[in-house]
Amino acid sequence: MAEVGIDISHTIPTLVCDLDLAEFDVVVSLGMHKLGLARQQTAVAWDVPEFTRVTDATALPRLRDLRAQLSARVHALGAMLTATHRA
């Protein structure tokens, strides 16, 4: 992420089970998960390939590709939500 100017070095991961999902309007999961959302909430499931690091030489290109794919999806979701909110 530092390659694209985002510092996540101090970010602590949060487990989904530690969140109060009722506080969110939109929930995105990486994979198909049954999260038990309310009807007024929007659930988005993005299937991502399993990632097994073999070597740094093979892992880094795959991580960069995944980062690019997720970035495109985040931007598209933002555009859709913005358009929906304006409508």
C-alpha–C-alpha distance, residues 66 and 50, integer Å = 11
Q: What is the pLDDT of residue 73?
A: 95
Instruction: Provide the CA 58 distance to its chain's centre, in angstroms.
Output: 22
- Are 10 and 73 in contact by the 8 Å Cβ rule? The answer is no
Nearest to 36 by CA among 49, 20, 50: 20
Q: What is the pLDDT of residue 32?
A: 62
Q: Is 38 helix (H, G, I), strand (E, B) or coil?
A: coil
pLDDT by residue for the chain (87 residues), tens digit each?
999 999 999 999 888 889 898 899 888 888 766 677 888 888 888 888 777 767 778 888 888 999 999 999 999 999 998 887 765
CB hemisphere CA count around 74 (13 angstroms)? 7
